[in-house]
A = this chain, B = another copy of it.
Amino acid sequence: MFNFKIISESKETKARAGVINTAHGVVETPVFMPVGTLASVKSLSPEELLDAGAQIILGNTYHLYLRPGCEVINLFSGLHRFMNWKGPILTDSGGFQVFSLAKLLKTSEEGVLFQSHIDGSSHLLTPEKTVEIQKCLGSDIIMCLDNCIAYPSDRDSAKDAARLTTSWSKRCKQSWENGAGNALFGIVQGGMFKDFRAESIDDLVNIGFSGYAIGGLSVGEPKEIMLDIADFTLPRLPDSKPKYVMGVGFPEDIVELVALGADMFDCVLPTRNARNGQLFTSYGTINICNSCFRTDTKPVEPKCECYTCRNYSKAYLRHLYMARELLGYRLNTIHNIHYYIGLMKNMRQAIIDGSFDAFKKDFYGMRC
């Protein structure tokens, strides 16, 4: 059911264009996956996601396990029918949210014991449990439970976390093998230590996964370190499998990571920042609440073909934002998602056309 094929590689960089086949359809890489935490990409309908060119979305296992819970989602045979999204879905393992959002009570070989950020109830998330939940969600791409650590961390913590991740990944693979047509991805850990990253890759490749993700980036480290670790890690992952850099990032980060060979991305930036009035454009970001937009009758980006830019002015978006009108959050989100997905499409086309270096030059040249 699941497979990945590279259709073109950039000669000047490590960028590559590919196709992922899943049970719910095709994903063209490099791809950006909008984040649909609670069975909704905040403020958007599935039709608006399709209009923006979204081919796959991400669901958060931690959130969905707590609300509405598997009991409810099982009644719909998974997330797809529950939320009316017919395309592919990737779900994370919950590991990162336990680390960043819940109150972490105890990490052990068995799994992670945490308290819900909603009602304080205690839950044990094991490798087997996260696979079971993601199967219930009907996920097309299931992520292994990984052990995330803070930045900075000492060598011992990073080593322990990577080794625990390996052990959990083995158990995820065992649980998953009883499963259906969904893929299972392993997550490389190892902090900012290259030797542990290399070891983590070796371990995961020995277990064998349908794709590999780099976890533990964008956790507070300087951008140079993030790119340095990605530059070290990405080429060491099997080229025949999709390479996914989790939770990154700004357009510039994504462009650099695609050049380093990354295929898949997810990030809350385009959606969350839209709700805070920040809009992404070819020229850089603008904040729609700026008073200079009060009388600006032009769209956010005149050449943009999104629903928002085709129909509304910056003055209207600013008005909606200042008045806290719900439509404003949506129109901003539509634009930002369209921008991110458009960026991926343009990169993909440049890779296919053999002009990725020229694309990068243009991309940076236009930014203020």
Interfacial residues, chain A to chain B (CB-CB below 8 A): 38-40, 42-45, 67-68, 71-72, 75-76, 82-84, 294-295, 297, 311-313, 315-316, 318-320, 322-323, 325-330
Contacts and interface: CB of A to CB of B under 8 A. Distances in A.
Nearest to A43: B326
Given A40-B327, A42-B325, A320-B40, A312 B84 contact: yes
A198 to B, nearest CB: 41
Contacts of A83: 316
A326 B82 contact: no
Given A326-B43, A327-B43, A330-B326, A319 B75 contact: no
B39 A316 contact: yes
Contacts of A82: 313, 315-316, 319
> Which 5 pairs of residues, A with B, have the shortest CB-CB distance?
A43-B326, A68-B319, A40-B327, A84-B311, A40-B325
A343 B331 CA distance: 30
B315 A75 contact: yes
A327 B39 CA distance: 10
Contacts of A297: 75-76
B327 A44 contact: yes
Contact of A326 (B67, B68, B72, B326): B326
Nearest to A44: B327
A330 to B, nearest CB: 7
Given A38-B320, A72-B319, 12 more contacts: A39-B319, A40-B327, A42-B325, A42-B326, A43-B330, A44-B327, A68-B294, A75-B295, A75-B297, A82-B313, A82-B319, A83-B316
A334 B14 CA distance: 47
A103 to B, nearest CB: 20
A311 B39 CA distance: 14
Nearest to A334: B45
Nearest to A46: B311
Given A67-B319, A84-B311, A294 B326 contact: no
A294 B70 CA distance: 12
A68 B319 CA distance: 6
17 contacts: A40-B323, A40-B325, A40-B327, A40-B328, A42-B327, A43-B330, A68-B319, A71-B295, A75-B315, A76-B313, A76-B315, A82-B313, A82-B316, A83-B316, A84-B312, A326-B329, A326-B330
B319 A38 contact: yes
Contacts of A319: 38-39, 67-68, 72, 82
Contact of A72 (B72, B75, B294): B294
Contacts of A43: 326-327, 330
Contacts of A330: 43, 45, 326, 330
